[in-house]
Structure 1
């Protein structure tokens, strides 16, 4: 089942399974979202919950019990409920159930709201703790954009990503198991305009540590056409850039994260996970980002 949002600037489709944005087109029919070719990457723009990235050994320890949890969590493959849907907004809900509690033993509600405003899709992700104890989680998004958007007039390497604010960001590295390492480089201010190439992703995702920014934008644009997309996130700690390697695929993901993969020195206890969010009983957490299409 899909939901369609539509105005004079954009038409967007959202898949209820995974609450995933699967298509965004302008009035000329230009598709911005990667169309999930399974020979390259079978997803479009998954929601990441309750972990971002990979856990050490794909498992975690909570209250002495070991739970299996694969990369980026289960929300991306879960069936959401449709709470409300019209031309401008869709609200979807995932809540704990007996099957989920086998791998994530917390009572929660996860609301994903898409709101279409002019040339922008605003995304609000709300986690509510309905348990008697604190819950631990991370959340993020993984939108993939077609690159090039107009293959008849441009190439993959005609694209760039620029960050705003333009400053030196920490660059976190992943090891061969997808875990963060203690090695961190900096992107200089001049390097915030990043040239896109397939080789850029030879070491897996580029993960930027944003520091204390309360608003950061990553802008994907072409030197050969006027079209692209800008992702703006609020109060997130990380942005990821990713595409497949060594397989050469025609997309780039720009990913706002409120959390990150386990470190190479992880203890395995979820409460000790790097940048994990702890939500007290009855509280809620809100994460917000916008995607502007041009």
Structure 2
């Protein structure tokens, strides 16, 4: 386990999956990150790579071959190498091996950097295509946050999601685990969205951000504490809590990719939301979480 420290927070990251597992404010006695109770969801904040969401039949085709991969890809299942580490920064690396290439036939170098400054954690993804062919892929974050942050400071329904810019957003509905972008909805977020477990009765709320800088804040009417996640260039963000379980957490998920469409052809290069990197080129993306 790798630890980062500021005057305010202690952050812990597991080498397995380079997964953020704890952000703790000892003075305020607050743990911000969901603690992976398997009754609800046995993860904290997995990295989604090289897909976001689910493939139809857990498979895809690429240049005439069929490959199999389960939901959210495989990065979360592998141990990353620690390239650099001090009190405020840690860099993790995952290189393709034969097992990975059986699911995703590319040479790649995935690096994830965590940088802690005061109350803010920056999470940066850096993907290098080491192959001699164009690499299609997706990547995303999936941090879960305790709601409520303290059991004596209200309950789930005392929290709200506030999105800036305050406007109406295109919402991509889900049919089962797949997106139905052809029947896009509109979600009015000019005012805060009060949390209720029934909000998630069709799984995640997926907002089309159109690469516009966006901040999604979780805050409470009975507490001064919360989190605000800012992403500058993501096409999508998912807001999720398990349903019908009444789970005491909410995930805010910046995505550079999306689950398969209901009408997908299965061709990975034509997949909705897919990113591409030319040979020996790089892709970078990041987001920041402010804890208050």
Please state which band the TM-score falls in when normalised by the shorter chain: over 0.9
2:260 equivalent among 259, 262, 272: 262
The structural deviation recorded for 1:271 is: 0.3
> TM-score of the superposition, structure 2-length normalised?
0.98
Q: State yes or no: 1:58 paired with 2:68.
A: no
Against the structure 1 CA distance between its residues 179 and 186, is the aligned structure 2 distance closer, same or farther, given a 3 Å change threshold?
closer
Q: State yes or no: 1:5 paired with 2:4.
A: yes
Q: For residue 203 of structure 2, give the secondary structure of its aligned residue in structure 1.
A: coil
> TM-score of the superposition, structure 1-length normalised?
0.97
The structural deviation recorded for 1:187 is: 1.5
Alignment of 1:97-136 (within 5 A): 97-136=97-136
Report the equivalent of 1:206. 205
Structure 2 stretches lacking a partner, 5+ long:
none
Moved segments of 4+, more than 3 Å: 177-181
Report the equivalent of 1:164. 164
Q: State yes or no: 1:77 paired with 2:77.
A: yes
- The 2-side partners of 1:272 and 1:56 are apart by 14
Q: State yes or no: 1:241 paired with 2:247.
A: no
Alignment of 1:187-202 (within 5 A): 187-191=187-191, 193-202=192-201
Residues 180 and 261, structure 1, Cα contact 8 Å, conserved in 2: no
- The 2-side partners of 1:167 and 1:211 are apart by 13
The structural deviation recorded for 1:177 is: 3.6
Report the equivalent of 2:142. 142
- The 2-side partners of 1:180 and 1:261 are apart by 10
- The 2-side partners of 1:25 and 1:194 are apart by 26
Report the equivalent of 2:291. 293
- The 2-side partners of 1:177 and 1:269 are apart by 18
Q: For residue 99 of structure 1, give the secondary structure of its aligned residue in structure 2.
A: helix
Deviates more, 1:182-191 or 1:102-111: 182-191
Report the equivalent of 1:229. 227
- The 2-side partners of 1:248 and 1:3 are apart by 31
- The 1-side partners of 2:275 and 2:120 are apart by 28
The structural deviation recorded for 1:189 is: 4.3
Against the structure 1 CA distance between its residues 180 and 95, is the aligned structure 2 distance closer, same or farther, given a 3 Å change threshold?
farther
Report the equivalent of 1:216. 214
- The 2-side partners of 1:187 and 1:205 are apart by 13
Structure 1 stretches lacking a partner, 5+ long:
none
Against the structure 1 CA distance between its residues 243 and 63, is the aligned structure 2 distance closer, same or farther, given a 3 Å change threshold?
same
